[in-house]
Amino acid sequence: MYKDKIDFFLNEISKKCIADKGDNITFSLGSNYYSLFYNNDIEIEKIESLIDLASEDTYYSFASGSLAVIYFMRLLHTSNIITDEDIDAIEEDSIEFFLELISIYADKKEYDLFTGLIGLGLYFLEIQKLDTVAKIVSYIDHLKYEQNKSIFWVDHNITKEENICDLGLAHGLPSIISFLAECYHKGCEKETCKRLIQGAVHFLSELYEENKNSQYIFPSKINVVTRKKQPANRLAWCYGDLGIAIGIWKAYTVLQDEDLKTMSLSIILNSSKIRLDNAGVFYSNKNDCIDTGICHGSSGISHIFNKFYRVFKREELKEAHDYWMAITLQQLDKGTKFPYDLKNDEWVEHTGLLEGISGVGMVLLDYQYPEKAKDWDKIYLMNIE
């Protein structure tokens, strides 16, 4: 499908990433990430610039902060672009700081993928410090709530309302399941991970049974006391049924419960019927564009359907991928812009990974040359194959 066109855009995106000035940590991370996988090479000056940006960062985010940069340096080391001495020097001070950050996040009850324990956990998994990962799993266990057979976590950072369980893959319960599954498969605290996953999918299963015949099955958030739900009503990586299907599939890989496999397939097939006019994708009439980013745009949607097609080999999932890929390519033909200020309808082009053109490039690369893009999406917990 569209092989020549995708090759053309892969090259064009590479040019944009190489031309990135490197003065913004989010955009520089994205451009370098794409260059690593597409070209298997990065200029040393760009690496040094990225390290300088990380040294000035005070956010420490796994999405676009110093933690993301240090994680990326590990990928460069694995690809033999930087040496053992280089990575040791880069990590010498940062590891101690990130170890201290674990207890700070635990005290704040902040488990978030980007700004909490899960992001730190993925980094320490990457560098194989399983004793530290075990400590993070213990904190996550301590932060849980139990209700009958269900286990869930209450958000203390994204929302101001009390008693809210976040159900987004970006910030909520599916990300916890996915992280615990990664820990389980690495042999870290397997019994604890299995117990927590079992309780968490029981919580999701009850919500599924309540609403499984609807176009959109799961809410984005639920008040665990009043049971009031905040609807998601969108296709996206960050919130909605697609991310929950990923979490449930990850749970299946641990528990080997065929009912979970069936549920994950049912959710993703249900989502495959939804089209652009009812998908909740951001668009701008003024700018004549739709969001094509990974987080909540067409490329992220197409990527998730492609991942599940590789797992289940169902034609409906291939058709859904092709539909959303075609929309993405149509937008690339016109020129891509991404939501910058939705309230004022401001859209810009940038090289960010999660919400920009480098992320779109990674989706195209994974589709066209999956061997070159192997496991690139594990940072966003989409590594379901």
| Nearest to 62, CA basis, from 26, 22, 89, 31 | 26
Give the CA count within 13 Å in the CB-facing half-sphere of 112: 20
Q: If you count them, how many residues does the chain have? A: 385
CB-based contact 72:122 (threshold 8 Å): no
Six-digit token string for 227: 């049971």
289 is in an annotated binding site: no
Give the CA count within 13 Å in the CB-facing half-sphere of 5: 10
State the Cα–Cα distance between residues 83 and 44, nearest whole angstrom: 12
State the Cα–Cα distance between residues 212 and 348, nearest whole angstrom: 38
Contacts of 68 (CB under 8 A, 6+ apart): 29, 61, 62, 379
CB-based contact 33:50 (threshold 8 Å): no
Helix residue ranges, H only, the chain: 3-19, 25-39, 44-56, 66-78, 84-107, 117-126, 130-143, 173-185, 190-211, 241-255, 258-272, 298-312, 315-334, 357-368
3-state DSSP assignment of residue 231: strand
238 is in an annotated binding site: yes
295 is in an annotated binding site: yes
Per-residue burial over 211-246, b if 16 or more Cβ lie within 10 Å, else e, is eeeeebbbbbbbbbeeeebbebbbbbbbbbbbbbbb
Which residue type, as a one-letter code, is found at position 221? K
Which residues belong to the annotated binding site for Zn(2+)?
A: 238, 295-296
- The annotated binding site is made up of 238, 295-296
